[in-house]
Amino acid sequence: MSRCLLVILLFLAPLLGRAQGIVVLGDSISAGYGLQETEGWVHLLGQRLASQCSAMPVINASVSGETSDGGVSRLPALLERHQPDVLVLELGGNDGLRGLPPSRLAGNLEKMVSLGQQAGARVVLLGMRIPPNYGRAYTERFEAVFKQVAENNALPWVPFFLDGVVEAGQIQSDGIHPTAEAQPTLLDNAWPVLREVLPKDCQQ
């Protein structure tokens, strides 16, 4: 093998070995709590891309009950293993339900965004709102975190991922988790910002 060809192969090796795909790092909303695996919005996203963009597999790394602390802990290994082109962050709801400090959520989201970008992934943020159980001030500070992190890092983002779901009554009997009927709406909510970071042939 010529020296020139060897140099070219060494240069291309990291690119050829890189997986082209999407990692969704979320909580029970993306894990599909109470649903069949094939009913969740992440699975529906995978189906959509498989039909028009098979080079973009979708890896669902979501865990029910996950907080932003857990996301920070798990993300480095996920990035190393999957080397995704796109990282979707859908975390924070459990932080809010537990009354954890919004500043802690903000710091964790910033860390995950930084880790994703350093690994070469384009990051998408799915925002969340919570009931006013802890008072108006806490609720507003919590909601503002997602906007601030998105603006700080120029991220494509969704202000409220569950938009339209509660209004349609598509919530399970626990009063928290979306039903199977809500999953296409969740995908529709995420799709406009996901399109921004996908290759053109995946944007139909």
C-alpha 182/C-alpha 178 separation (Å) is: 6
Instruction: Report CA 42 to chain centroid distance, whole Å.
Output: 9
Among candidate residues 85, 114, 174, 188, the one labeled active-site is 174
Among candidate residues 68, 69, 177, 188, the one labeled active-site is 177
43 is catalytic: no
Element (H, E) at 158: strand 157-158
174 is catalytic: yes
C-alpha 89/C-alpha 112 separation (Å) is: 8
Among candidate residues 27, 28, 30, 43, the one labeled active-site is 28
114 is catalytic: no
Number of C-alpha atoms within 13 angstroms, CB side, residue 150? 20
Output phi, psi for 136, to 5 deg.
-65, -40
Q: Which residues are catalytic?
A: 28, 174, 177
